[in-house]
A and B are shown apart, each in its own frame.
Chain A
Amino acid sequence: QVQLVESGGGVVQPGGSLRLSCAASGFTFSSYGMHWVRQAPGKGLEWVAFIRNDGSDKYYRDSVKGRFTISRDNSKNTVSLQMNSLRDEDTAVYYCAKDGAYGFNYDYWGQGTLVTVSS
């Protein structure tokens, strides 16, 4: 069965950096795009970034462009999110999600990892 396991969350000061990782199993990882989605405490879902199956294309929401970088290693079945210049408003649970077979939906989700940006 599909499993997505995020790691790397924690507490970081404003302006700091953090790298999230997501280990995937149970499907042909190299065949699917992957997303990062976040949810601030008590708030709604917010799409963050997407990477195509072969890493050839990457999309970001405007508020993280230039600060966050999504990447993947198809030999290790992992997708990562490098987060720099973190702000208070980046505080959220970050979910790794698999793109659906027909594209641009999230058919499987990890359990999430909490990122807290606070001084």
Chain B
Amino acid sequence: QSALTQPASVSGSPGQSITISCTGTSSDVGGYTYVSWYQQHPGKVPKLMIYDVSNRPSGVSNRFSGSKSGNTASLTISGLQAEDEADYYCSSYTSSRTLVFGGGTKLTVL
């Protein structure tokens, strides 16, 4: 059960857009629509931001969007705000009937 691959860190200035990638295989990200994204502020509980590749739960800002191409899913945050600074994790269902997270990406708002 190898973790999905995410960049360790990304950064951007307020108002800019950033994209965080999440690379897996055809046995997980590429094979299912069960890809989701989570935001976790330090010392806080993770929060669901995107589910089923590109769907936003009620209450999540439309500045957050998700997509997938092949074995790579992406989370894009537009109009960066200071409050977006957090750790972000992707998750996927796998063909082994398990779930797997990415290693996490630390977003810094400059």
Give the interface of A toward B (CB within 8 A): 35, 37, 44-47, 50, 59-63, 95, 100, 102-112
Contact = CB atoms under 8 A, between A and B. Distances in A.
B73 to A, nearest CB: 13
Interface residues of B, number: 27
Q: Which 7 A-B pairs have the closest CB atoms?
A: A105-B36, A104-B34, A44-B104, A47-B99, A104-B93, A105-B51, A45-B101
Contacts, number: 68
| Chain B binding surface, main DSSP class | strand
Given A102-B52, A105-B52, A106-B38, A35 B99 contact: yes
A10 B52 CA distance: 35
Contacts of B102: 44
A82 B57 CA distance: 31
B2 to A, nearest CB: 11
Contacts of A108: 48
Most buried by A among B48, B97, B99: B99
B85 to A, nearest CB: 17
B89 A45 contact: yes
Contacts of B57: 107
Given A44-B89, A45-B38, A107 B48 contact: yes
Interface string B40-63: 100001111001100101000000
B3 interface: yes
B51 A102 contact: yes
Contact of B98 (A37, A45, A47, A100): A47
A45 B45 contact: no
Nearest to B36: A105
Nearest to B45: A109
6 contacts: A47-B101, A50-B99, A60-B98, A61-B98, A95-B45, A106-B38
